[in-house]
């Protein structure tokens, strides 16, 4: 464990950046939500603005063109962005929370030199782990990578499913079997950096979803995709799944932060509505059972914010945070679900109508309990670590 916290951006500079970002969210992103929802896409000019602000390279080191944020700072940015429609966070979060983390933890110096500047400049990444027949069960992974008989590269075949940003991504991190049989500690899985314009790479039409308009997912199909040897993350086979799981910790922190930020947005909306809506001659905010739902929601959001501060500080100190990141993601995503449910209830009949925000909040929030590991899978992971630590006498 490191004794020196990850430095990140200078504190005063970061505070100024966050203040600027909060204004951007309220003055630019929230007013554009109706357009994002109507067209199911973020306007190109807003994506360009986000790239110019450096959001796609938040955690990329400054020497490679990024902002060099530590995890605590990154989570605060995600929480701030998540106050607006989820699509805004989604388009850059894979870059920052998962692709960049995998490069940082497992990439060679050459891979960092090539991909960090490209990611910081705004190239969009996707993360290819889930398949039609496997998600958390890596032993069932069907995508294969076999050595290219004509050179030192690899030939990839398979299908990835529910891949965020795939329809407009520039690069994918693809998990594939490099060994036929499942080996201990998932050593049969390796990771490959694959540009999306590589021959044999294709995507399906974007899937229609319950919520999160403007955020796109689709299948990624690999049909005899030839990649050079340097595409193998870390230059060694058998380490891909470990790198993927390490990056998922950052992804789970991102989802937890997003859940917390969106819950805050929903609660603010409910607080405003409760003060404006009249019943029996007075605002419904005066009714004690409405106050109970407001106060329970505020308390749970506060708890999630405290968890976020703790887990990100642990990451920045260099601690192993698999259990803590999972716990934060579980609590925050489930909390967000409870908050948006209460918000619909506070809105009453209006909460069921699409013309009011409460209905959208309810649909958008549901996926957070599934992203980057379902609640149930993460509960099993937390328990596994608890039992392992108990057996070791910790």
Which residues are designated catalytic? 372
**328's torsion region: left (phi>0), alpha (psi -120 to 50) or beta?**
alpha
Give, in order, the Cα–Cα distances in Å from 302 to each of 157, 257, 260, 270, 285: 46, 12, 9, 17, 20
> 147: which strand partners?
154
Q: Are strands 154-164 and 144-147 parallel, antiparallel or unpaired?
A: antiparallel
Alpha carbon of 387 to those of 257, 283, 321: distances in Å? 27, 51, 16
* Closest listed residue to residue 262, CA positions, set 371, 182, 176: 371
- Integer Cα distance of 77 and 99 in angstroms: 17
φ, ψ of residue 268 in degrees (nearest 5): -60, -40
The radius of gyration of the chain's CA atoms, rounded to the nearest angstrom, is 21
Task: Kindly state the tokens that stand for 381.
Answer: 């992971």
Distance in angstroms between the alpha carbons of the first and the last residue of the chain: 16
CA–CA dist 392, 319 (Å, integer) = 18
> Residues 375, 298: contact at Cβ < 8 Å?
no
5 vs 277: CA distance, rounded Å: 48
Q: Are strands 282-283 and 278-279 parallel, antiparallel or unpaired?
A: antiparallel
Closest CA to 243 of 376, 67, 100: 100
CA 337 distance to own-chain centroid: 17
Parallel/antiparallel/unpaired status of strands 217-227 and 282-283: unpaired
d(CA 311, CA 326): 10
The C-alpha atoms of residue 131 and residue 144 are separated, in whole angstroms, by: 12
């Amino acid at each position: 464990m490191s004794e020196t916290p990850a430095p990140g951006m200078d504190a005063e500079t970061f505070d100024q950046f966050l203040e600027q970002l909060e204004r951007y969210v309220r003055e630019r992103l929230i007013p554009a939500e109706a357009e994002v929802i109507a067209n199911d896409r973020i306007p190109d000019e807003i994506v360009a603005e986000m790239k110019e602000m450096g959001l796609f390279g938040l955690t990329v080191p400054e020497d490679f063109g990024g902002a060099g944020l530590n995890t605590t700072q990154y989570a605060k940015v995600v929480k701030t962005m998540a106050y607006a429609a989820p699509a805004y966070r989604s388009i850059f979060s894979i870059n920052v929370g998962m692709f960049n983390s995998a490069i940082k933890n497992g990439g060679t110096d050459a891979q960092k030199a090539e991909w960090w500047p490209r990611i910081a400049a705004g190239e969009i990444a996707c993360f290819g782990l889930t398949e039609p027949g496997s998600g958390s069960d890596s032993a069932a992974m069907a995508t294969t990578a076999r050595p290219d008989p004509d050179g030192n590269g690899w030939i990839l075949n398979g299908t990835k499913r529910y891949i965020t940003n795939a329809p407009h991504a520039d690069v994918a991190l693809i998990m594939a079997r490099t060994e036929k049989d499942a080996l201990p500690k998932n050593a049969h899985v390796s990771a490959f950096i694959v540009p999306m314009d590589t021959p044999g790479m294709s995507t399906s039409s974007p899937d229609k979803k319950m919520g999160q308009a403007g955020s796109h997912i689709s299948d990624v199909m690999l049909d005899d995709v030839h990649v050079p040897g340097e595409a193998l993350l870390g230059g060694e086979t058998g380490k891909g799944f470990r790198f993927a799981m390490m990056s998922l910790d950052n992804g789970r922190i991102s989802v937890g932060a997003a859940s917390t930020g969106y819950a805050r947005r929903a609660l603010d909306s409910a607080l405003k509505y409760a003060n404006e809506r009249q019943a029996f001659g007075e605002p419904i905010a005066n009714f004690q059972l409405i106050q109970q739902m407001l106060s329970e929601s505020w308390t749970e959001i506060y708890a999630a914010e405290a968890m976020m501060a703790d887990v990100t500080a642990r990451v920045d100190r260099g601690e192993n945070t698999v259990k803590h990141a999972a716990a934060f993601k579980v609590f925050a995503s489930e909390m967000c679900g409870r908050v948006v449910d209460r918000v619909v209830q506070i809105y009453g009949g209006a909460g069921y109508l699409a013309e009011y925000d409460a209905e959208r909040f309810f649909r958008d929030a549901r996926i957070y309990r599934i992203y980057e590991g379902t609640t149930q899978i993460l509960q099993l992971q937390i328990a596994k670590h608890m039992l392992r630590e108990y057996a070791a006498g910790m």
